[in-house]
A and B are shown apart, each in its own frame.
Chain A
Amino acid sequence: MTRARIRAIFAVPVLAALGVFLFWGFAGVPDFGGFHGRYGTIINHRATPERHTTNAVTAVVFDYRGVDTLGEEFILFAAVVGVVLLLRKGDEGEPPTAPVRSEQVRLVGAVMVGVAFLIGLWVIAFGFVTPGGGFQGGVVVAGALLLVFLTAGYRPWQRLAKERALDPLEGLGVGSFVAIGLAGLIASGPFLHNFIGSGRTGTLASGGTMPLLNWATALEVAAANVVLYAEFLEHYVAPIFAKEPR
C-alpha cells in the first residue's frame, strides 16, 4: 500500500470525529448578537473609570491581559529570529541599484511615504484613546517604509533598512516591555502592574503604563516587520535585479 493510501485510511475516521466535535461546538454557540460573557461587559464598564483610557480593547491588550501580549511579542521575536537565521548570509557583495524609472511613481511615493508614516505614528500614539495601538500602528509604519522600496527603488530601501540599526531596535522594543513589567513588580505587587497614575480621560496622558507599553510594542512590531521584508527582499528579490540588464 502506498503511503498516501495509508494516510487516507487513517484520515477518514479522524476527520469524521473532528467534524462531529465541530458540529457539536457550533450548535452550542449562542445566537449571533446574543453575547453573554461577563468579563467583556465588566471591562467595558470598568476600563474608563479605572484606567482613564477610552479604548477598552487597548486596555485589555496592554493592561488587563498584558501578559498575553508579552507572549505574543516573544512569538513575533522568535519568528523573525528564525527568518534571519535562515536567510541572512554573511557577505552580501554589492547590492543592485534597481531604481524605479517612472517619475510619476516616484512623485506619488515621495508624498505617500510621509503621509503613511505620519498616519502610522498617529495610530500608535492615540492607540488608547481612539481605535489603534502599537500592533496596528507598527504594521502601518513598516508598510510606509516598504513603500520606499516600491516607489523609489532598491538602493534607497537598502539605505533605510540597515540591519545593524534594526536588530537592536527590535530587541529594545521587547526589552522595554519586560523592563516596564519588572518596574511594576518592583514598584508595587504583580508583574506588569499599572503603577503610574492614570491621568485625564481622553487625553494622551492617560492609562498609566499603557502609553509606554504601547510605544515599546510599536517599536518592536515595526522593526520586526521591516527586518522581515528586508531579509526576503535581499535574499529573493535582489538577485533578480542583479541579473537584469541595466
Chain B
Amino acid sequence: MTQSSTYVLLLSIGYRRGGGAPIFKGTVVGTRSVDPIVQALTLTDVVVSVTVVGLILALALDVHTKTGTADPEKIAEMSG
C-alpha cells in the first residue's frame, strides 16, 4: 500500500497543468507535457515490485507451511 501511494505521489508531483503525455508522435516537440522522468521511475518500479511481492509471499507461505503460523512472535527461536 505504501509503495502504491508513493507511485501516486511521484506521478502527481510530475504533473503539469494543461500538459499532455510526453509522447511526441503526431504532436510538435515543445508542446506542454508532463514530466517523463517520474513516469519512467514508476513504470519500472511497478513491474519490479510485483516480483518482490512474489518473493515475500513465497517466504511467508513457506514459513506458514513449516511452522503453522505466520506471526513472527509465535515462531520458536531457531535452534542449533
List the interface of chain A (C-beta within 8 A of B): 3-4, 29-30, 32-35, 37, 39-41, 43-45, 47-49, 54-61, 65, 68-69, 72, 75-76, 79-80, 82-83, 86-87, 129-131, 133, 135-136, 138-139, 202, 221, 224-225, 228, 231-232, 236
Question: How far apart are the CA atoms of A59 and B17 in the complex, in Å?
Answer: 23
Residues of A within 8 A of B52 (CB): 75, 79
Q: Are B23 and A55 in contact (CB under 8 A)?
A: yes
Query: Mostly helix, strand, loop or mixed at chain B's interface?
Result: helix
Closest to A26 in B: B9
Question: How far apart are the CA atoms of A236 and B12 in the complex, in Å?
Answer: 39
Q: Are B35 and A40 in contact (CB under 8 A)?
A: yes
Q: Are A3 and B73 in contact (CB under 8 A)?
A: yes
List the interface of chain B (C-beta within 8 A of A): 12-19, 21-25, 29-30, 33-41, 43-48, 50-52, 54-55, 57-59, 61-62, 73
Q: Are B43 and A35 in contact (CB under 8 A)?
A: no
User: Which residue of B45, B48, B61 has the most chain A CB atoms within 10 A of its CB atom?
Assistant: B48
A/B interface sample: 14 pairs, CB < 8 A: A30-B13, A32-B15, A32-B17, A33-B18, A35-B35, A40-B14, A47-B36, A48-B29, A55-B22, A58-B40, A72-B48, A75-B52, A225-B50, A225-B51
Residues of B within 8 A of A75 (CB): 48, 51-52
Closest to B35 in A: A40
The 8 Å CB contact of A35, one of B14, B41, B59, is B14
Question: How far apart are the CA atoms of A225 and B50 in the complex, in Å?
Answer: 9
Contact A43 B43, CB 8 Å, known A29-B13, A56-B23, A228-B54: no
Closest to B34 in A: A35
Residues of B within 8 A of A232 (CB): 54, 57-58
Closest to B53 in A: A79
Residues of A within 8 A of B17 (CB): 32-34
The 7 closest A-B pairs by CB, nearest first: A33-B17, A40-B35, A56-B22, A54-B25, A60-B40, A56-B36, A79-B51
Cβ distance B60 to chain A, nearest Cβ, rounded Å: 10
Q: Are A80 and B43 in contact (CB under 8 A)?
A: no
Residues of A within 8 A of B59 (CB): 86
Cβ distance B79 to chain A, nearest Cβ, rounded Å: 20
Residues of B within 8 A of A56 (CB): 22-24, 33, 36
Cβ distance A214 to chain B, nearest Cβ, rounded Å: 13
Residues of A within 8 A of B35 (CB): 35, 37, 40-41
Question: How far apart are the CA atoms of A45 and B30 in the complex, in Å?
Answer: 6
Question: How far apart are the CA atoms of A174 and B10 in the complex, in Å?
Answer: 27
Residues of A within 8 A of B15 (CB): 32-33, 35
Q: Are B36 and A44 in contact (CB under 8 A)?
A: yes
Question: How far apart are the CA atoms of A75 and B13 in the complex, in Å?
Answer: 25
Question: How far apart are the CA atoms of A11 and B30 in the complex, in Å?
Answer: 49
Residues of A within 8 A of B41 (CB): 68
